[in-house]
Amino acid sequence: MTPDRLTAIAEYVRMQGEARLDALAEHFGVSRMTIHRDIDKLAQQGVLRKLHGAVTAQPSSVYESLYAYRSQADMATKAALAHAAMAEVTPGQAVLLDDSTTVAALAPMIADAAPLTVATNSLGLMQELAHRDEIALIAIGGNYAPTYNAFIGPDCEAALGRIRVNLALVSASGVADGVALVQDAQVTRAKAAMLAAAERRVLVLGSGKFGRIALNKLARLDAFDAVYTDTGLPASQARALRDAGVPLNLVDLS
């Protein structure tokens, strides 16, 4: 079982809406037993729903599946976006990082900009950065949410309301009509509190998120000081966003 195949299966089912197990086995060139094991794993992660002889995408999993699955999806894109977004980080800053797997891709790089103060509600980032030299880590606590491997809720929001930082780096579940959207209401409030605490607000997300709907509005794209996405975004859409005043930065994945 490979993370790349699991990601490909999840994306294929998401695009199709529903797929027969025999068709999946044929499409991915594996045995029916193997496709059963892969689907069982994705079902355990809350990504897909297994039916008799078929599988469908969980309605909410289009945008928010378990952290373990999301962390393996589009890894190369996330790494490229993180590398580009590092241009925003300079030594001596206080920086807020959200719980997204996109922003988590900054972890291997961020020590290069030390000394830094880094505040985050992401347990994964806390564990990654806890022993990095010259990084003063502020752990933003609250109610632990396994789906996001992060802390959210009223205590998290209150803690964020007591700090002020130079920079907040966040991601979103989708973008529609020029607005960044987030599926979970509590996650939305945590991200909004991060943006309110920051002098400079930066959105980082893959081009595949554009045109996706999620339940909660986070902020208009033109309210960010910078938006980083990849060149998979259609040129006409990029022009329209820039014409609307969105500070768009396109990252070449080649």
- Domains annotated for the chain, with CATH where assigned, are 3-62 (1.10.10.10), 74-251 (3.40.50.10470)
> Would the pLDDT of 68 be above 60?
no
At 54, is the pLDDT very low, low, confident or very high (cuts 50, 70, 90)? confident
pTM summary value: 0.77
Could you tell me which residue, 128 or 66, shows the higher pLDDT?
128
**Between these two residues, 49 and 139, which has the higher pLDDT value?**
139
State residue 73's pLDDT score: 54
Q: Assess whether the previous peptide bond of 3 is cis (omega < 30° from 0).
A: no
Residue 7 has pLDDT above 80, yes or no: no
CA pair distance 198, 196, nearest whole angstrom: 6
Percent of the chain exceeding pLDDT 90 equals 66
* Tens-place pLDDT, residues 27-38: 999 999 999 898
Structure tokens belonging to residue 192: 């909004």
Q: Which of 30, 26, 23, 19 is nearest to 55 (CA)?
A: 19
Of 251 and 71, the one with more pLDDT: 251
* Res 63: pLDDT: 38
**Among 7-21, 40-54, 104-118, the range of highest mean pLDDT:** 104-118
What is the signed CA dihedral for 235, 237, 239, 244, rounded to 10 degrees?
-170
Given this model, what pLDDT does residue 169 score?
A: 98
Model pLDDT, residue 110 = 93
pLDDT band at 64 (very low <50, low <70, confident <90, very high): very low
Tell me: pLDDT of 213 over 60. Answer: yes
Q: Report whether 202 contacts 85 (CB < 8 A).
A: yes
Contacts of 96 (CB under 8 A, 6+ apart): 118, 119, 120, 160, 163, 165, 167, 168, 169, 170, 194, 197, 198
Query: Which pLDDT band, with edges at 50, 70 and 90, does 254 fall under?
Result: confident
Least confident of 71-75, 76-80, 167-171: 71-75
Whether 59 has a pLDDT exceeding 60, the answer reads: no
Taking the CA atoms of 22, 28, 34 and 37 in sequence, report the sign of the dihedral they define: negative
- Of residues 46 and 181, the one with the higher pLDDT is 181
- Average per-residue pLDDT in the chain? 89
**pLDDT beyond 90 at 72:** no
Higher pLDDT, 228 or 77: 228
From CA 131, how far away is CA 105, in angstroms rounded?
Answer: 17
The confidence score (pLDDT) of residue 89 equals 97
pLDDT of 250 > 80? The answer is yes
